[in-house]
Structure 1
């Protein structure tokens, strides 16, 4: 914590700021370590931190929280009772009286009632915006922060493993989401501001669709986007599971699906062997039948002698022919009916052909985005302009499917929030730096049909990026069969 405070003070000095106020609970956590998930702010009251170049370091807490929390060494706790008016008065009593000493605050976290109360104390309009200063300090993670994020990513991997078992034909989106959230909560996730998303089929074309009662179907893509939290630090990752034509589940690695497919091939091989055996047996039957034909040659000669006798029989047979004529007419009618059935079956073949083509398209898109994420990881080295990484990702997604929609977010920082500075945009001024943690999430959305999003978290080290996730990317083997889920 001391090292973090010194880093923030150095940034304050560089911007000519004497006193810094923070109101965002995440910034308060960053500067003091104070964190609670017990109650929301509107129940427990607002917290704040004051840090000055002169050495003042104070945490403002609503009573009785000051008796329940031990601040880090060197940080003084100031208690107040009441609401925003009382907090403003407590703060103003510790702010510098020299107007030449600039005071800054994370103004986006100051609600209107508190801002008006600060104005009445003579401070609201004099506050400089410190959002970017704090965001850039939080951008570089300490070893302790990296460890907490690694734990949060481990919970995500567990959630994705649960998703791989739960995503199956007939399961509802909200059912899968509930199973994921329960697994992560039981493993220690403390909850965060990010909602688990399970988005299937056409719903997947809406990047932030909320899980609902829709049933997952075969030949569809299912996006699972989730976050977990450990001591206030949040993770963020996503996978897209593809359900094969048979509608099987997205088991981890898809090994069971491929094993089942391989088993069917072995079973079919045995069936072909058995069929070949039956052919040999039937060959013997045909030989016996040919022998019977020769024996029956004599019978035919005897039959010729009976032809006259059978004249009456032929008359009767002619009558039977008329009857059989009706039968043949009926049979011809059945042929027409069956012809219609065959035409319907051929139509179904065409429909199934389109379904297979659509599923093949999903496989190609999934493979392309997976390869793109792997390529992005190799480009993430200290000193690389973030805008270059952004431009590379956008260009490759456009090349993969020019007609698909790209989401507004393609990557971002991760830390005390699942989404924090810097965003991967074309105008981002930042360079990749050692100990940044980023989530990179290339995605494509085809309106009304599906979406594919794959997201990993990366820790930037001195030589390049290290993937923090251990759950596989669900890569698909282009050389193999289309009903394997990797």
Structure 2
């Protein structure tokens, strides 16, 4: 697995937010949060691995002995506390908390409840809270390095799609065969992992998170293809809906409505605009075309070290967009028993507007 070096500026920013929120200690289990600070994801298992960030002291990595070699190169940035099978790893965390005098402890969402409950039992005088309000503030707006990796992940994903469109066919192949081929092409473009590849043909396309199966693609079938992967931990996410051959006239009309809705959402993205207003911009277009009830999910979500993260473009979220936020723009129409259509790009909010990270065509594509 490819890793990036730790970024000390992130620790400094975390400590500033900890001070403002009166948090003494952060405890972070293997997760995207863990990778944000250490440059690697950590191994989530029954063996405790945790990053401990004190507001006024050195950061500590608590790791099982058999995995300690994976972190040896981080000793200049983190203090390593190594425990062996048969030891009590929770005791190491308790010692850290007691030695620092920390009272207010924030824990990330991916720190297993089994570990947290033990920690709370042994530290009844300490207060515990979720770290997500702090961590989301750190991770939502991407820095220059993160944006470069997200652009590169999308560029490589676009290249795989362009090759697929130029050389592959849909008709007569199973959904699973199409997904396997596209996965090969994504890896050939140098993505380190293919995180997902949904291929939903004909009536299966009416299920936004369809499980790719063995249905054979028929002439005239729209095929919703939603795919993405990671590059140094940062993800791409794109959806296109080509047709196997010639589309029906009603599908072509619906496709144009989705394309118009996607453009309306993109045009609405700029700093200061509430997230829900971007969702409303797309939803209004589909409502005007008579498809409002067939758009059954939020418009989009943040993308970075995970495929779904803050901020979410959804009704009820009045949080304003900020420069550096990267979000998906993915309106869709889903007609039960018939077909679905979704068009998705990743978009970065800039100082004065927005920029698409995907450059491949959004026009209705006919493939053999």
TM-score (norm 1): 0.69
Matched with 1:212 is: 213
How is 1:75-86 mapped onto 2 (pairs within 5 angstroms)? 75-82=78-85, 86=88
Residue 475 of structure 1: how far off its partner (Å):
4.2
How is 1:212-291 mapped onto 2 (pairs within 5 angstroms)? 212-245=213-246
Matched with 1:91 is: 93
Are 1:384 and 2:285 counterparts? no
| Aligned mates of 2:122, 2:248 — CA distance in 1 | 65
| Aligned mates of 1:236, 1:78 — CA distance in 2 | 37
**Would you say the 8 A contact 1:34–1:71 is kept in 2?**
no
**Would you say the 8 A contact 2:265–2:279 is kept in 1?**
no
Q: Deviations over 1:191-213 (max 9, x none)?
A: 25x42101110000111111111
Are 1:6 and 2:6 counterparts? no
CA shift in 2, pair 1:62/1:217, >3 Å: same
Matched with 1:425 is: 314
SS across alignment from 1:109: coil
| Aligned mates of 2:212, 2:184 — CA distance in 1 | 15
How is 1:142-181 mapped onto 2 (pairs within 5 angstroms)? 142-164=143-165, 165-181=167-183
**Would you say the 8 A contact 1:370–1:475 is kept in 2?**
no
Matched with 2:4 is: none
Q: Deviations over 1:393-436 (max 9, x none)?
A: 22222222336522323200000101111111111132110111
Matched with 2:203 is: 202
| Aligned mates of 1:141, 1:72 — CA distance in 2 | 26
The structure 2 residue matched to 1:440, chosen from 329, 333, 341, is 329
Matched with 1:397 is: 286
Matched with 2:25 is: 19
| Aligned mates of 2:18, 2:136 — CA distance in 1 | 13
**Would you say the 8 A contact 2:330–2:342 is kept in 1?**
yes
| Aligned mates of 2:326, 2:124 — CA distance in 1 | 36
Matched with 2:3 is: none
Residue 166 of structure 1: how far off its partner (Å):
2.9
**Would you say the 8 A contact 2:283–2:292 is kept in 1?**
no
Q: Over alpha carbons, which structure has the higher Rg?
A: 1
Residue 30 of structure 1: how far off its partner (Å):
0.7
| Aligned mates of 1:422, 1:127 — CA distance in 2 | 24
Matched with 1:346 is: none
Residue 125 of structure 1: how far off its partner (Å):
7.2
Higher helix share: 1
Structure 1: stretches of 5+ with no match in the other structure: 246-357, 477-483
Higher strand share: 2
Residue 132 of structure 1: how far off its partner (Å):
2.2
SS across alignment from 2:23: coil
| Aligned mates of 1:13, 1:429 — CA distance in 2 | 26
SS across alignment from 1:59: strand
Matched with 1:297 is: none
Are 1:185 and 2:191 counterparts? no
Residue 100 of structure 1: how far off its partner (Å):
7.2
Q: Deviations over 1:239-269 (max 9, x none)?
A: 1102333xxxxxxxxxxxxxxxxxxxxxxxx
**Would you say the 8 A contact 2:286–2:292 is kept in 1?**
no
Matched residue count: 359
| Aligned mates of 1:397, 1:22 — CA distance in 2 | 42
| Aligned mates of 1:93, 1:448 — CA distance in 2 | 59
| Aligned mates of 1:72, 1:217 — CA distance in 2 | 57
**Considering only aligned residues, what root-mean-square deviation do their CA atoms show, in Å?**
2.3
Q: Deviations over 1:80-117 (max 9, x none)?
A: 2238x7332111111146877311111x3232321232
| Aligned mates of 1:124, 1:398 — CA distance in 2 | 54
SS across alignment from 1:41: coil
Are 1:49 and 2:51 counterparts? yes
Q: Deviations over 1:320-340 (max 9, x none)?
A: xxxxxxxxxxxxxxxxxxxxx
The structure 2 residue matched to 1:61, chosen from 60, 63, 81, is 63
Are 1:139 and 2:111 counterparts? no
Q: Deviations over 1:280-306 (max 9, x none)?
A: xxxxxxxxxxxxxxxxxxxxxxxxxxx
Are 1:374 and 2:224 counterparts? no
Residue 154 of structure 1: how far off its partner (Å):
1.9
| Aligned mates of 1:180, 1:375 — CA distance in 2 | 29
Residue 447 of structure 1: how far off its partner (Å):
0.6
CA shift in 2, pair 1:123/1:410, >3 Å: farther
